[in-house]
Structure 1
């Protein structure tokens, strides 16, 4: 439109110079090519009865090379020379074998199929190579120019360099695969869970005006169970399957109720209390169960991921199997309170238990002191292995004769004591008779070394009498022991050596 308001028409573009410039200066790589030889090859194959081009190419990979050889490049523009690092069109044409190679061979079948099917154009994403060796990921668009549909003698091809996008996508894929591998092959059990339904339930409780959540879940334990049911497991890793003895994820997820049971209800109640108090990162020791039924002691770390604090819809749990550690701790605790040889309580536990009873009862307290007769002679004459065997038999007798509420302890080499809280003289004599009866049975079952005991019993009714009671039991035991040695043959080297 000029100053007078009339529309002005630009000068007509000449079909020569202007379009020449448009091709040459286009910001996209342009190729003018001749596909007529390719059409002739296709026509020949059709005449031979070929109907499925992809199958035909797959039968003989050399046919793909035959098709590519039919492409004839007539001209490229300046952007093409820049993209492929060619100084001139002549250099590029003489090195097309370096441009069209490797990955391209496997992807060209897609564009060939589009032409075979009768389409005048095709699109494809493939790989070319610049003359300096750079790999180029390119998106191809090609069109048979109007007027050349019968011969395919003029085809305009444009290439968009998508290398950056492809490499970015590959980098993202590698990053995702790396993250996935870290998750799947982590040396600890990992669970990804959705707690959003749990949050909605807890928000509902708040909306009811509940402030004392601890009391609420004590009064309503079914709320804890409901929250456990609402947890949605999104994913688990390989070590989780191994830890709980599951063949695959389906088997484990279909048996969640067998894993989280028993003590887990109380542990989960504590977890809910922490969530109520705003603790979105937690750690605690819990007990789960393998699908075999065996308990699995777990150190659990729980974390609501940072970007999901509002909904709790993405939670990561890591579980470390501490079963071996727990067993070791239990064994060490056992060793601290038990005699390894006889499996009875040891002197340390005996002293602690005696002090506890002295302070708190229950009363009356009866004590049986026991000494194993002839242990030194057996060790001297038959070796310590024989003596140890006799001590183990002593442990078996006392373990069966004394109830769990009482304390049977080995307090010295051949010295044993039984504490019977809440037991009078009559009850103590009954236990002593039971011990004697089991000794007789043991001697029948083990005909080798004879098990013989000296026992003394005493009873008291208060803490200030405990020490004197122990003394009276010891005195009674030594009287019986002396009686035992007086009945033995006097064939030993000396009574002082044998009385042990």
Structure 2
């Protein structure tokens, strides 16, 4: 038997086995490798199986037609092997191939296969095909044409492409294990050049190397992938064991490469795998199972217990598990430091701490407790020395101790349920906050903190929540709660008395809020002194007060109001008369709504206020003027002169007698708003600065608020408000112009300016009449109403002030 027959028999019997192996491996690995991409390795294995099975059929063909059919089937596998081979190698070395190139490779395979199956028509692949018998098998004898060499060239391209890409990744890779895999494939593919050379020199007519070489190369590729796949199975087995443990774990190969690393190890190494070589040198020294190893990782020193084992002896895989002892080591150090800090804390803490032992009778009931220990703060807080209480019982220290304390602390010691409470110790006049807990059975510890300041603050807050901060009376919240509480049949009849301080806003605007506050406090005092002791007096807000009188009928209520009126009518705050309007209503029947009673009392108060308030406001305005004149005699003289000039202008302009009188009064009070200006500014010697001038410019508005509060002066309030407006709209406070300014205000403006110019000031001499007239004429039509100016200059001054009037 010659070599050709031996190889032929070997191939024939091996082909179906190889085909089955290729199919099995392809199916097995396509299951194992489920990813986003198509698995070209499995496709390559299936193509190899098609070729092997088709070649087997061709060798067992009984006639030329069956052989051609079988060869066409085998050639399908032959032609797609380089296509899937190129795609597999690209996938293996992680080289991206565009979709267009993939389509091109499929097209090339399709064209070549069509060229083969249509060969009987054009004979481009083979000139002729004959069926010969060899050792009982039918072998095709062919005469090759250009189409056959095209397939050979396609294979050469596949091998050349694979060789180049594997050499590239072999140079770039730093992993010894990957380099082994790349090198194995690279060397396996070079066998193809032997087959190409034999075909080119024509040696294939004696021995066809094509099936042997193709099946060998694919077997090597398959073996390499199976090896890698089994390796991945081992990695997955390692992951199942070590992936989710809470310790550092990693797997290395014989080349000291990290093959797999769990998430904890990733954080531990901080992604710097190159440091593993130095770490392994330390880990592999000595017996680390009994003592921790100190390893420097970055800037940190870590203490580790090392568990090393041979995970896979055949593949030389070693698994490391590192139990980080650093935290425990530091925790032990921290524990010692903590114990020392706690000792210092207990001895130096501001809170008092004492430990006690509970004493029980034969029935198991607590009857006393003994002091075991106490810190310095405890003795300072309770006023007893440690030496006087340690070792003694509570009854020895406090002979009159309440049994409730012993029962309460005994419950804590027996149940381990902590308690928290506050109490007042009358012996030391302090409030304490106490936390009691059980450190061990039949013992309890107390931590006491002095909370006297907090209790005082809470009491103050509680007081303020129900009292008016200004007058000290109860506030509206307290009133509403008390009204709800007292609104019961047993308290009928219930009288509600409403009180309202008249002229408060006017006082605030004129004399300042400090005077208004004094008025309110005085009113609160007078009301409180005048009502029965069981009454509830509250400030509702602003200038309103209310009195609740339970079990008080209408006659008693009237007596109370008369007493209130008598008390307040003869009292004053400085020069200001105190005026309070009162109203009342009685709830006599249970079905009456207390809120309706309140509304009626309020309405009754407002009826009295209508006529009482007007009178007090008029008196207050007179008081304001007198007070202003007392503050500045210059203002008094100035106001009187302005009033006379205003009346003279009004007479010459032919205004009515009522208007003349009204404008005279307005001229007299035109600067009443200066009551709200600081006396230092009013009497300042010298020019005013910007801020002082801004303050002075507020006096028209203040005067308006004062006068508008009274119906009698409400019309004049407008003239006072506008008397510093200018004809050209550049005045203040509203920047009115021309006829937008009232006639009375325009007259006051001229009179006020003339008197101001002709009067001496501390910082300048007054102008002469001639100079003042010149200024009036100069500013007529800009600052002053030209008609009012003309009347004043040509008529008033000529007729009344021409006799040498010069201030």
Give the TM-score of the pair, scaled to structure 2: 0.31
**Which structure's residues are more often strand, by fraction?**
1
**Which structure's residues are more often helix, by fraction?**
2
The structure with more radius of gyration: 2
